[in-house]
Each structure stands twice: as structure tokens, then as C-alpha cells.
Amino acid sequence: MKNSTKIKICGLFRDCDVDYANQAKPDYIGFVFAKRRRQVTREQAARYRKLLSPDIVAVGVFLNEPRDQVIGLLRDGIIDMAQLHGNETEEDVRVIQAATGKPVIKAVTVRERADVEAWLDSRADYLLFDSGTGTGKVFDWTLLQNVDRPFFLAGGLNPENIPEAIARIHPYAIDLSSGVETDGVKDCEKIFQAVQAVRNKYK
């Protein structure tokens, strides 16, 4: 299992979503605090966290939220990591890290290679490359060639194209949301298929 790619299932917002995750055992799950369809409140996230298996890392997804809100959720143990998906700066990343000692993921919308290179020296613990917040579309993976730091890959991923993504660009982690949904809600079978697609690469 050395150097095996990890998997994150993002956008859990129902009790059954947490149940699905507990059964499928992804490495990470995501609670969306940004004002999006899958948004959860602090209270909901705290309750879901108590239901979540302790060996699954809970990531909070934010979009231009005040630092204090992010820091508070990390300090209170509702989430283990912060994922910044908006126009947050390098200073925001460093302040959150310094205040909490917890990892920060900085999401980068990739339209051209310059978008990637602009963040390669970031102090963020991980970068997440996406086609845009919640687009559900694949971008040109060749733009990620020779990225020499661990990153999450998102955007248009599903159980069918995960093996190709891993084989071509070797991400630290695969990140899915709509790719494991049916009619806009998490689909238990698809979650299992996605987790198995990642794990099977290393059997």
C-alpha cells in the first residue's frame, strides 16, 4: 500500500451519508460550510462528526468565510482540516495553520498552467486542483504534469475514471462529490465503487 492514493467523499449532509461513509471507509469526508446546495450548519456538522467513524478525517470546506469561523471549527474538533475554496490568500492559510496547528488545503481552479504554478510554493499542507467549485467537470490533467508536491484532484471524477486519473497523474488523493451521487444525493453503491476503484489500484 506504499504511496497509495487516498480518497475523499465530499458534501455529506444527511445522516445516511455519514452511514455510507462509515461503511465504505474513505480516508477523508467533507462537510461543506460554504453557501451551496450541500451546506451544513455548525450544529449539523458537530452532530455528524459524533456519528462519523474516528478513523475518517473530517474536512471543512469554506468559500471566503471569516478566518475566525474556520479556526473555531478546527479548535472545537468539529473538523480536522480546512479546505479553502475561495479567494483566500497565503496569509489566510498561514494564520489558520498558526492558530490551530491543523492542516489546510487550498483549492485552485485550473484553467491554464499559470494557475497551478501560482500556488506551487504555497505554505498550504495540500493543494486541491479543480475545474471550479462544484462544476462536476474534468479539466485538462496535462496541466498538472511535474507537480512535485502532494495534491488532491477534483472535478468530474467518478468510479469509472478514477483508475485513469491515478495512473496518469498520481494525485495524493481523489476528491468526489457529484460523481458519487444519483439525483443530487449521495448514492451508497457509488461511494463503495469509488472507494474500491482507489483501493484496487494497490492490491
Catalytic site positions: 10, 130
For 17, the grid coordinates are: 451519508
Beta-carbon contacts of 201 under 8 Å, excluding residues fewer than 6 positions away, are 4, 5, 163, 166, 167
Provide the greatest CA pair distance for the chain: 43
Beta-carbon contacts of 7 under 8 Å, excluding residues fewer than 6 positions away, are 26, 27, 28, 173, 174, 175, 176, 194, 195, 198
3-state class (DSSP) for residue 160: coil
> What is the Cα–Cα distance from 71 to 42, expressed in whole angstroms?
12
Helix (H) or strand (E) holding 20: helix 15-24
Q: Where are the beta strands (DSSP E) in 81-150?
A: 81-84, 104-109, 126-130
> What is the Cα–Cα distance from 169 to 146, expressed in whole angstroms?
9
> What is the Cα–Cα distance from 104 to 93, expressed in whole angstroms?
7
